[in-house]
Amino acid sequence: MPTTVLVAPESERAPRRPHRPAREPALTRPSGSGRRRGWFGALLLRLHFYAGLLVGPFILVAAVTGALYALTPALEQVVYRDALHAPVTDTRLSLAEQVDIARDHVGDGAATPSAVRPAPEPGDTTRVMFADDRLGESESRAVFVDPGTGEVRGDLTAYGTSGALPLRTWVEQLHGSLHLGDVGRLYSELAASWLGIVALAGLGLWLRRIRRTRAATDLVRPARGRTGYRRLFTWHASVGIWVLLGALFLSATGITWSQHGGGNVDTLRAALDWRTPAVDTRLPDGGPAGHEGHAGHEGSAGHVGHPPAGVGGAADAALFDAVLAASQAVNVDTGLVEIRPPAEPGTAWVVQEIQRSYPTEVDAVAVDPGSLRVVHRVDFAEFPVAAKLARWGIDAHMGSLFGLPHQLALFVLAAGIAAMVVLGYLMWWKRRPTREPRPLGGTPPRRGALRGAPWWGIGVVLAGAALVAWWLPLVGWTLAGFVLIDVLLGFAGRRTARTR
């Protein structure tokens, strides 16, 4: 965020000693004047200033829309209450009956649903989802059926594996792309990529300030009795240190969704074999389905009885009950599941746990529709550590792990980040020179930080910049833009000084 924050205005700085000569401006110092202590802090300050000033609007929009998204799971329960819930009854229809009701509701010879999510708890509805060419990518038509009476209680568009309904989908796409598609995704990648860098630069400046001031508490909580710029500064510094870890977390996890930086993350995970295991839906060639992995003897004959005629046909609605029963005999032990018929002939049905709250339950099995025997399974307990961390990171970013308290915490965190941006701009405005004509905002921190750096310091900075630019391409492009702007401003300043 734009923090000229660690450079106090002239009126509040300690007076210079009369016998101390004024420091020569950095732009006019001879090149051989030697190394200058504090060059790294000056570099951090300039980076923090320019990044906050120029990328701040993107971070602000991402924070505001992220705060709104954090509340949408709770809002969804209110807005779509009638579709998501139904009166509790003593009766319960089979999944086959509920699927047939949904197909009749859709009409026009509706095919087999693309997925079914049985009612997880009494008082919930069953979600029967159909592919629809009129919908967008990753969208499906969801019909909500009362499992007790068979009443159709809703017909809505659901999005992605999260099953987000229209309100949450709209806010999610606003947060991720401003409803501009792939072009809009560049905004969120820019915000996520720079947020962590700005936060780390701010931490460095905070530590530097702690070493140089006796009023350390003003950097942990807002100072009392301060006014003007100093009041804004203490708010910026203290709020910043409290949201630091959360900002770094949101930055790191947000990058995983991005186009360019996220692609590098995927490449690294693949190279290190950190990918998330996926259930194998291939059926054994010829004969009855065999067993893979540790499926054991989880056939369905002893659990669901004899399936009805035509059980091997993928379009038979009765398979939803039979396949679910087969999976529950193996490792599916939560009510939050999704049943997916084969995507193509010769493949297995999939039953996937979808409980993203902690403790995470995302086990999955593949079931042969002919024999109702499990042919493959994956268990979250056996995921590689990196895959588990990725799952938890995504769910934490989306507010799924710990329910409403988690979502409220994300809302507060995002609001804090947004406040940081606003405070930064207010400080920039407050530090405008008092002479006329007054510029739009405060002047940047002085140039020439690297001129006083040792050779190894310059090498480390350049190598670090190159590495970050390679890993996060949008940072590289915008950093080059910052340097160009800085050079042009310096050139303009020198030209103005010569004409006076």
Which of 229-236's residues contact partners 24+ apart within 8 Å by CB, and which partners? Answer: 229/8, 229/9, 229/12, 229/427, 229/430, 229/431, 230/8, 230/12, 232/423, 232/426, 232/427, 232/430, 233/5, 233/6, 233/8, 233/427, 235/423, 236/1, 236/3, 236/5, 236/420, 236/423, 236/424, 236/427
Q: What is the pLDDT of residue 315?
A: 54
**Hey, CA dihedral for 170, 176, 182, 186, is it positive or negative?**
positive
206 and 158 part of one domain: no
Determine, yes or no, domain membership for 13.
Answer: no
196 and 332 part of one domain: no
120 and 89 part of one domain: yes
Determine, yes or no, domain membership for 20.
Answer: no
Determine, yes or no, domain membership for 457.
Answer: yes
Residue that is last in its domain, among 164, 196, 228:
164
Cα angle, residue 211 at apex, residues 210 and 214 outer, rounded to 5°:
70
Q: What is the pLDDT of residue 221?
A: 78
Q: Where are the alpha helices (DSSP H) in 179-227?
A: 181-212
393 and 305 part of one domain: yes
Contact 418, 63 (CB under 8 A): yes
Range of the domain at 382: 301-398
**pLDDT tens track for 107-140:** 877 778 999 999 999 999 999 999 988 998 899 9
Number of domains in the chain: 3
Q: What is the pLDDT of residue 216?
A: 59
Determine, yes or no, domain membership for 76.
Answer: no
What is the C-alpha separation between 493 and 484, in angstroms, rounded? 14
Is the pTM higher than 0.75? The answer reads yes
Three-state DSSP at 285 gives coil
392 and 414 part of one domain: no
What is the C-alpha separation between 11 and 440, in angstroms, rounded? 20
The strand pairing partners of 128, in sequence order, are 116, 143
**Spatial CA neighbour of 391 closest among 346, 358, 350, 439:** 358
**pLDDT tens track for 344-395:** 888 999 999 999 999 999 999 999 998 999 999 999 999 999 999 999 999 9
Determine, yes or no, domain membership for 353.
Answer: yes
Determine, yes or no, domain membership for 280.
Answer: no
Contact 95, 321 (CB under 8 A): yes
209 and 239 part of one domain: yes
Count of Cβ atoms closer than 10 Å to residue 489 Cβ: 13
383 and 409 part of one domain: no
394 and 407 part of one domain: no
312 and 385 part of one domain: yes
Residue that is last in its domain, among 137, 164, 191:
164
Q: What is the pLDDT of residue 453?
A: 85
448 and 362 part of one domain: no
**Hey, CA dihedral for 320, 325, 329, 335, is it positive or negative?**
positive
Q: Where are the alpha helices (DSSP H) in 213-331?
A: 228-255, 261-271, 301-304, 318-328
Q: pLDDT under 70 in the chain at which residues?
A: 1-37, 214-219, 285-315, 433-444, 496-497, 500
Residue that is last in its domain, among 136, 164, 192:
164
Q: What is the pLDDT of residue 469?
A: 92
Determine, yes or no, domain membership for 155.
Answer: yes
Determine, yes or no, domain membership for 362.
Answer: yes
Count of Cβ atoms closer than 10 Å to residue 196 Cβ: 20
Q: What is the pLDDT of residue 287?
A: 38
**pLDDT tens track for 17-55:** 444 444 444 433 444 444 566 788 888 998 999 899 899
